[in-house]
């Protein structure tokens, strides 16, 4: 499958370095794949605690709504100008909604794209629902989710890609969702942590995935790394840093209960400490 339709969540905060880098990354990715890029921007409704709702003047709420819409429109104009300068096809969507509705809305828009691009949660993040957006994209959109770290990069230079493999369904989905990116990479490495990954052919763990990817014309190396007393997520992150990886491809694990989300241990480790983009699928 070619990568031809990308959705990126855009921030409205003026001067947001992380948001600007994520936008530039998505534009670069779309340009590399001759893909259409859609920007999704939320003009969020004011969040007022119920116990003081009656004490807040209606004029204040209306002015906050107006500021949110103005910020979203400014972000939309900047995105349209940037995509025009890059020579890619694009459109931009502004959605006014509550914080609670933003995640499900992102998922709905993502279902008719090939990939959803979102940002990693930042320290002192001005967007309180960043993790909710990642959750919704990963677990509700049905599409691959590419998380861009808040420290960058601003360009989708994905020459060296690492595929984390444990033989599970989620890892299989992630590897296959990543095929358009893997096809353009200079080298692909399948990485197994420990000895637990099953093999369909009874041979070395990861060899069956390497064979599958080879049938797509890819040259793949298989690497087994030890956890050395650390969790799997940090073992993968450590190896990615040592190997100068440009993109990590991983299955995303977790569960949701009464809308109170808990990421799986490996997913949480990756999302908390990632320094390179991560493509996940569930």
For residue 128, the tally of other CB atoms under 10 A from its CB is: 11
| Residue 144 and residue 9 share a domain | yes
In tens, the pLDDT along 180-190 reads 999 999 999 99
Q: What is the pLDDT of residue 197?
A: 61
| Residue 133 and residue 95 share a domain | yes
| Residue 20 and residue 138 share a domain | yes
| Residue 204 and residue 256 share a domain | yes
How many angstroms separate the CA atoms of 9 and 42, rounded?
Answer: 9
| Residue 139 and residue 9 share a domain | yes
Which residues, 6 or more positions from 137, have their beta carbon under 8 angstroms from its beta carbon?
Answer: 9, 106, 107, 110, 116, 118, 143, 145
**Domain of residue 126, residue span:** 5-148
Number of domains in the chain: 2
In tens, the pLDDT along 55-111 reads 556 666 788 889 999 999 999 999 999 999 999 999 999 999 999 999 999 999 999
For residue 239, the tally of other CB atoms under 10 A from its CB is: 19
Point out the domain boundary residue: 100, 126, 148: 148
| Residue 170 and residue 135 share a domain | no
Beta-sheet pairing, 144-148 with 160-164:
unpaired
Is the pTM higher than 0.75? The answer reads yes
Beta-sheet pairing, 278-281 with 144-148:
antiparallel
Check pLDDT > 70 for residue 212.
Answer: yes
- Structure tokens that stand for 250 in this block: 């991983």
| Residue 101 and residue 208 share a domain | no
Q: Give the Å distances, CA to CA, from 127 to 19, 132, 139, 179.
A: 11, 10, 20, 32
How many angstroms separate the CA atoms of 57 and 28, rounded?
Answer: 44
103, part of any domain? yes
131, part of any domain? yes
| Residue 168 and residue 85 share a domain | no
| Residue 227 and residue 102 share a domain | no
| Residue 143 and residue 184 share a domain | no
């Amino acid at each position: 499958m070619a990568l031809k339709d990308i959705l990126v969540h855009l921030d409205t905060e003026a001067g947001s370095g992380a948001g600007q880098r994520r936008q530039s990354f998505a534009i670069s990715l779309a340009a590399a794949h001759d893909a259409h890029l859609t920007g999704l921007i939320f003009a969020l409704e004011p969040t007022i605690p119920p116990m003081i709702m009656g004490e807040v003047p209606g004029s204040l709420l209306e002015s906050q709504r107006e500021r949110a819409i103005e910020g979203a429109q400014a972000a939309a104009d900047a995105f349209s100008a940037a995509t025009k300068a890059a020579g890619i096809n694009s459109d931009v969507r502004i959605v006014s909604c509550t914080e609670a509705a933003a995640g499900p809305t992102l998922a709905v828009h993502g279902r008719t794209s090939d990939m959803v691009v979102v940002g990693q949660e930042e320290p002192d993040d001005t967007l309180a629902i960043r993790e909710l957006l990642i959750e919704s994209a990963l677990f509700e959109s049905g599409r691959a989710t590419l998380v861009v770290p808040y420290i960058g990069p601003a360009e989708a230079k994905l020459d060296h890609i690492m595929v984390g493999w444990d033989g599970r369904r989620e890892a299989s989905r992630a590897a296959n969702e990543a095929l358009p990116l893997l096809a353009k990479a200079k080298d692909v490495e399948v990485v197994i942590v420990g000895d637990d990954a099953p093999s369909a052919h009874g041979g070395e763990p990861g060899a069956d995935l390497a064979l599958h990817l080879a049938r797509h014309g890819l040259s793949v190396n298989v690497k087994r790394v030890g956890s050395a007393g650390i969790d799997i997520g940090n073992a993968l992150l450590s190896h990615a840093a040592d190997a100068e990886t440009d993109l990590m491809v991983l299955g995303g694990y977790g569960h949701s209960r009464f809308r109170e989300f808990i990421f799986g241990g490996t997913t949480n480790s990756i999302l908390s400490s990632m320094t390179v983009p991560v493509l996940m699928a569930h």
